[in-house]
Amino acid sequence: MSSRSPDELLRIEGIRKTFPGVVALDNVDFDLRRGEVHVLLGENGAGKSTLIKMLSGAYTPDAGRIVVDGEEVRIHGAQDSERLGIATIYQEFNLVPDLTVAENIFLGRQPRRFGMIDRKTMEADAEVLLKRVGVDVPPRARVRELGIARLQMVEIAKALSLDARVLIMDEPTAVLTSEEVDRLFAIVRRLREDGVGIVFITHHLEEIAALGDRVTVIRDGRSVGQVPASTPEDELVQLMVGRSIDQQYPREPADAGDALLKVEGLTRDGVFHDVSFEVRAGEVVGIAGLVGAGRTEVARAVFGADPYDAGTVHVGGAPLRGHDVNAAMAAGVGLVPEDRKGQGLVLDASVEENLGLVTLRSASRAGLVDLRGQHEAADRIARQLGVRMAGLGQHVRTLSGGNQQKVVIGKWLLANTKVLILDEPTRGIDVGAKVEIYQLINELTAAGAAVLMISSDLPEVLGMSDRVVVMAQGRVAGELAAEDATQDAVMALAVSTSPGTAGTAFGTADTAGTAGPDDSPHSNGTEATGGH
């Protein structure tokens, strides 16, 4: 690497890290300067998370050096990292739901007076930090009462309480609306002006030019290039995946057949009302709408996960019993939930066990599971989907987000699902893995399956849908054919029954996410199940 800049805060040289059977990082270089946003870019599984865990003290490198302010350092834990002025905000927030905002900000470092916690000082100091990040949250508020956007700001305030000079942000916009993203970017720019060095990890390429100064690209555990943030997106993609992606949304419409899913008058009091639509064989129908429109709630009701008060669901022409997941699965309906970690996977089980979850009952005879058959089926589907793993026995928790999503979809493929409901199918997934998911959708519809896709990424909805159903305030506001479904047309319908809300709906790359309004009670740091 080049000689040290006088503004350099942090330098990583030749870092290597291996795990059993996997080389996670191999000779990676990276540096960060005072007052800059340095974007760390790479596919899921490229090694980004491993690298930041080196800096946070979660992992120790096998080889290479970490240099802070020109001095080589050893980071053996979170305390070492904090002492060096390094703070990390992970995708899954490190907050205690039952404690107050102030208690979370100063957890383990509460100011004391006469041996007792000085709550007055702690809350006053917390208020100063919260104002600095521009969020109006009472220091005494319980964290569990806050929405995703405010949790993000509390995490930033907590980092500032450590006098962090290096702030690492891992996918901070993944669950924010476009309006919340704008507020976050304003805070990041202020921190940059204050001289904080920011490592910013994102899969949203359009964010790079808007916020970044430099980009380091990691591919297959190696740093393959450092380029200006103004580098065109197609060049960034080529660096990231090692190939060009000619078509971002490679939809290949199949000949639509009979209606496999027909929903009529579906109503759940206070949540959604008189929702009707159908999805035909070989077709992708997208559901679009503002945050809070009821999209996810309808999907869960169709799948039987939640009850409804009126209406009917037919699959393949036959009525489907309501609020009965087993009946839905027996009829050939599958659901890939928006919260893949919380609802779609058993994280501490293996890839093989997760792939076999749906077919476990059908693969059993006289109470005994056909283990050999399950293994062969899991191996076949994992190869077909290109799941990157050390083996079928690898815990699914350790896979990248894109590969976890492939496992969630794969279990429904093994069950020969006829109607697949995809809720936010590419959230938190890099551009290369997204295209693989889209190609998988094409394969499903070409084989005669029906796909219902819910997404807060409006370009994704437009690019991959044969028809678009737009919801607003729990009702169907309209339906558009692919050739009529423009961003303006969708937005006009999405705000048609909710005046004054335009501009709070969609991100350009799944930024609208699961977050509801700031006062929505999602505090666990995972992707919430409601709010669409």
Report the first-to-last Cα separation within the chain, whole angstroms.
46
Counting the structural domains of the chain, the total is 2
pLDDT in tens, 292-319: 899 999 999 999 999 999 999 999 999 9
Looking at the fold, whether 228 and 274 belong to one and the same domain comes out as: no
Among 186, 221, 246, which residue terminates a domain?
Answer: 246
Average pLDDT over residues 53-75: 95
Q: 224 and 165: one domain?
A: yes
In a domain, 370, yes or no: yes
Structural domain containing residue 51: 8-246
159 and 21 belong to one structural domain: yes
Residues 18 and 111 placed together within one structural domain of the fold: yes
Q: Is the pLDDT of residue 529 over 70?
A: no
Is 517 among the domain residues? Answer: no
Residues 147 and 253 placed together within one structural domain of the fold: no
- Give the DSSP letter of residue 5: P
pLDDT of 188 over the 60 cut: yes
Same domain, yes or no: 171 and 74: yes
Whether the pTM exceeds 0.85: the reply is no
Question: Are 301 and 444 in a shared domain?
Answer: yes
Tell me, yes or no, whether 287 and 169 share the same domain. no
Residue with tokens 């490592």: 199
Q: Are residues 53 and 21 in the same domain?
A: yes
Query: Do 140 and 274 share a domain, yes or no?
Result: no
Question: What pLDDT sits at residue 500?
Answer: 39
Q: Does 511 reside within a domain? A: no
> 3-class SS at 327?
helix
Helix (H, G, I), strand (E, B) or coil at 374: helix
Q: Which of 181, 214, 246 is the last residue of a domain?
A: 246
- Give a yes or no: residue 529 inside a domain: no
Residue 240 pLDDT greater than 90, yes or no: no
The pLDDT score that the predictor gives to residue 174 is 74
| Same domain for 301 and 169 | no
Chain centre distance of CA 520: 18
- pLDDT at residue 522 is higher than 70: no
Same domain, 103 and 217: yes
CA 430, chain centre distance (Å): 10
pLDDT value at 11 more than 90: yes
389 inside domain: yes
H-helix or E-strand spanning residue 498: none
Q: How far is CA 98 from CA 148, 153, 217, in A?
A: 16, 17, 39
Q: Which residue did the predictor score with more confidence, 429 or 349?
A: 349
Which tens digits make up the pLDDT trace of 476-497? 999 999 999 998 899 889 887 5
**Average pLDDT along the chain:** 86
Which among 246, 267, 297 is the end of a domain? 246
Tell me whether residue 463 is in a domain.
yes
Average pLDDT over residues 326-350: 92
User: Up-side HSE of residue 363: CA atoms within 13 Å toward CB?
Assistant: 19
List the CATH number of the domain containing 349.
Answer: 3.40.50.300
Does a structural domain hold residue 347? yes
Report which of residues 287 and 532 the model is more confident about: 287
Q: What is the 3-state secondary structure (H, E, C) of 252-312?
A: CCCCCCCEEEEEEEEEECCCEEEEEEEEECCCEEEEEECCCCCHHHHHHHHHCCCCCCEEE
Q: Quick check: is 223 in a domain?
A: yes
Q: In this model, does residue 164 exceed pLDDT 60? A: yes
